[in-house]
């Protein structure tokens, strides 16, 4: 008896599976993938968009920038995502991958900026660091007396007498993270140049001075996983430690932690927006133009995303930690969205 029911259940499951196998076609819900940095903003917009009532709330997956691009460029058709978020600009290789799979027209929409902060507990001192100092504290190899050596610094005041006599202890993202990529590029690379160490790397046979971006692995830099909340908690518990994470986490926890000044500039909204604060990056959303008209609501969703009440200075995305574009740039972006002007691959 039980076996018969089992067979029936199995049959039903098989039928179910095959019935849906061919049914991936029509989709009435926008599907978004991409960067975990853009994720909080896209989800907030998706929710507000869904509440407007005309369309279903889009589904937003957090896949990371690279993973998102791979899915996005997987082809045209409703089994591929419509939009992808990116915490950096699309690469030439990704545009080529897209083109190869038939995704010819991609619309690039810049949604705002994200600052990366170097923060510690409120109980610790406010530091004013240069990129070169941060580089010296975190690089795997530094230049001492003209020679390239493994990073010898264990205390901040060994780097510069003006810095406190505390142990160098920095919690930051792992190499898989987009925040780490941006940090490497914006702080480590320029810090290396400022510290005038590039030549030393080149002299050691490292043509492109890639060693500049290599972070030390002797325990002073602690990879704290992708969970920025955890880093904040650890900073509160240990007043000598520093953390590297997105501006939104600093803003949310401003009563417990403080951001170090970098090159004399405080990590504040206005400074990031105006570009004065040197460690910030642009965030993008890419739209697959071929899906407009196939999946309902894409144009409307992007209009909502780029509207003043979302990505504007007082918009709800600013509440979530997004740093708004200057008005002139924002209006240009709105025109792009209205016309859905695709990227020109030749510009890369």
**Any contact of residue 9 with other proteins (CB under 8 A)?**
yes
- 189 or 228, CB closer to other proteins? 228
**Any contact of residue 50 with other proteins (CB under 8 A)?**
yes
The β-bridge partners of 287 are: 83, 107
Which of 139, 228, 273, 297: binder of other proteins (CB under 8 A)?
A: 228
| DSSP strand pairing (170-172 vs 141-144) | unpaired
Helix (H, G, I), strand (E, B) or coil at 115: strand
Q: Positive or negative CA dihedral for 268, 272, 275, 277?
A: positive
Q: How far is the CB of 308 from other proteins (least distance, A)?
A: 15
**Any contact of residue 13 with other proteins (CB under 8 A)?**
yes
Cα 54 to Cα 31: distance, rounded to the nearest angstrom: 16
Segment near other proteins (CB under 8 A); pick from 22-30, 144-152, 184-192, 292-300? 22-30
Hey, how many other C-beta atoms are within 10 angstroms of the C-beta on 338?
A: 12
The 78-117 contact track toward other proteins, x by CB under 8 A, reads: -x--------------------------------------
Tokens of 293: 């008209």
- 20 or 347, CB closer to other proteins? 20
Q: How far is the CB of 50 from other proteins (least distance, A)?
A: 5
* Number of residues lying near other proteins (CB under 8 A): 54
Cα 187 to Cα 138: distance, rounded to the nearest angstrom: 10
Q: Which of 279, 266, 273, 276 is nearest to 317 (CA)?
A: 273
Segment near other proteins (CB under 8 A); pick from 87-95, 227-235, 273-281, 282-290? 227-235
Q: How far apart are the first and last CA of the chain?
A: 67
**Any contact of residue 16 with other proteins (CB under 8 A)?**
yes
Cα 134 to Cα 195: distance, rounded to the nearest angstrom: 10
- Residues found in the chain: 348
Cα 36 to Cα 61: distance, rounded to the nearest angstrom: 9
> C-alpha distances in angstroms, 88 versus 38, 60, 131, 185, 279?
10, 18, 21, 11, 13
Which of 115, 188, 321, 343: binder of other proteins (CB under 8 A)?
A: 321
**Any contact of residue 17 with other proteins (CB under 8 A)?**
yes
Which of 70, 214, 320, 334: binder of other proteins (CB under 8 A)?
A: 320
Q: Where on the chain is the footprint of other proteins (CB under 8 A)?
A: 1-3, 5-7, 9-10, 12-13, 16-17, 20-24, 27, 29, 31, 36, 39-40, 42-44, 46-47, 50-51, 53, 56-57, 59-62, 79, 122, 226-229, 246, 248-249, 251-255, 316, 320-321
């Amino acid at each position: 008896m039980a076996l018969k029911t089992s067979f029936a259940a199995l049959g039903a499951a098989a039928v179910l599976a095959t019935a849906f196998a061919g049914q991936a076609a029509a989709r009435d819900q926008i599907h978004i993938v991409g960067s975990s940095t853009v994720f909080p903003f896209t989800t907030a917009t998706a929710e507000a968009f869904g509440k407007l009532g005309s369309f279903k709330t889009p589904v937003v997956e957090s896949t990371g920038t690279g993973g998102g691009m791979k899915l996005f460029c997987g082809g045209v058709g409703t089994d591929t995502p419509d939009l992808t978020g990116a915490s950096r600009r699309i690469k030439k290789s990704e545009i080529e991958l897209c083109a190869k799979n038939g995704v010819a027209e991609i619309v690039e929409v810049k949604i705002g900026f994200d600052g990366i902060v170097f923060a510690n507990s409120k109980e610790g001192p406010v530091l004013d660091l240069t990129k070169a100092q941060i580089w010296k504290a975190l690089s795997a190899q530094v230049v001492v007396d003209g020679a390239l050596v493994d990073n010898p610094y264990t205390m901040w005041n060994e780097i510069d007498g003006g810095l406190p006599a505390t142990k160098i202890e920095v919690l930051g993202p792992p190499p898989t993270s987009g925040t780490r990529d941006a940090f490497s590029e914006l702080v480590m690379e320029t810090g290396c140049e400022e510290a005038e160490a590039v030549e030393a790397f080149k002299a050691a046979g490292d043509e492109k001075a890639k060693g500049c971006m290599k972070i030390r692995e002797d325990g002073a830099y602690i990879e704290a996983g992708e969970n920025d909340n955890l880093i904040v908690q650890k900073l509160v518990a240990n007043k000598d430690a520093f953390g590297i994470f997105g501006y939104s986490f600093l803003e949310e926890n401003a009563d417990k932690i403080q951001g170090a000044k970098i090159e004399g500039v405080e990590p504040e909204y206005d400074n990031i927006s105006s570009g004065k604060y040197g460690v910030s990056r642009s965030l993008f959303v890419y739209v697959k133009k071929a899906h407009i008209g196939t999946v309902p609501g894409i144009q409307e969703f992007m209009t909502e995303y780029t509207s003043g009440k979302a990505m504007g200075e007082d918009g709800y995305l600013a509440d979530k930690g997004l740093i708004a574009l200057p008005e002139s740039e924002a209006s240009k972006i709105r025109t792009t969205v209205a016309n859905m002007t695709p990227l020109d691959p030749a510009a890369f």
